[in-house]
A = this chain, B = another copy of it.
Amino acid sequence: MRQIFEAELQQVGDDLTEMSRLVESAITRAGTALLEADLRLAQEVIASDKTIDAIESSLDERCVHLLAQQAPVATDLRVVVSALRMSASLERMGDLARHVAQVARGRYPAQAIVPEARDTFAKMHDAAVRVAQRTTRLLATRDLEVAEAIERDDDIIDELHQQTFATLLGPAWSGTVQEAVDVTLVGRYYERFGDHGVSVARRVTFLVTGDFPED
C-alpha cells in the first residue's frame, strides 16, 4: 500500500515539475515573441498551452484517485492538497504566457510594446523567466532559498509594473491608445504571473516548514 502511495505521489511531483518546465518554456518564448515581434514563436506558445492544461487535468484526477484509494493523513495529505493548488497556479501561469503571446500575435508585424517601455518589459520578462525557472527548481529540490528568490523576483516585477504606469502617465508618453492598452494588459499579465509563482513558493514553504508565509 505504502509503496503504491509513494509511487503515485512521485508521479504527482513529476507532473508538477513537468508543468513548470512547460510554463518556463512558454513564458520564455512568449516574451521573445513579444519583444521581437516573432509570429511563429507566438503561435507555438498559443498552441502548446493545451499540453499544460492536459497535464493539470490528469494530475488533478490522480490526486482525487490518490485521496480515494489511499486516504492519506498528516503530511501526505497536505502534499496532495497542495499539489491540487499548485497545479491550478501553474495552469494559470501557462494561460498568462499565452495571453502575452496573443498580444504579440495580434500586433504582428508591428511591435506591441512601444520603444519607451521596451527596456522595462525586457527586465520584467527576465524576472518572470527567473520566477519560472526557480519554480521548476523549487518543485524538484524544495530548497527554501529558491522560494525566497522567487519572492524577490516578484518584488522586482511589481516595481517594474509600477514603472510601466510611470511611463504611460509621464510627459514623454507619445503612444497610441492601442499601445497604452497593450502596455497596461501585458504589464498586468506579467504581474499576475509573478503572483502565481509566489503562491507556489509559499505552498512549498508551508510543506517544508508548516508555516504559511504572509505578505
Contacts and interface: CB of A to CB of B under 8 A. Distances in A.
A177 interface: yes
**Which one of A74, A81, A169 has the greatest number of beta carbons of chain B within 10 Å?**
A81
A7 interface: no
B73 A68 contact: yes
Contact of A71 (B71, B78, B169, B178): B71
Contacts of A188: 185, 188
A77 interface: yes
A95 to B, nearest CB: 10
Q: How big is chain A's contact interface, by range? A: 20 to 34
Nearest to A173: B177
Interface in A38-74: 63-64, 67-68, 71, 73-74
Contacts of A71: 67, 71
Interface string A160-188: 00000100110001000110110011001
A107 B180 CA distance: 18
Nearest to A184: B184
A84 interface: yes
Nearest to A165: B181
Given A64-B78, A84-B84, 12 more contacts: A64-B77, A64-B81, A67-B77, A71-B71, A84-B85, A88-B88, A165-B181, A169-B181, A177-B180, A180-B184, A184-B185, A188-B188
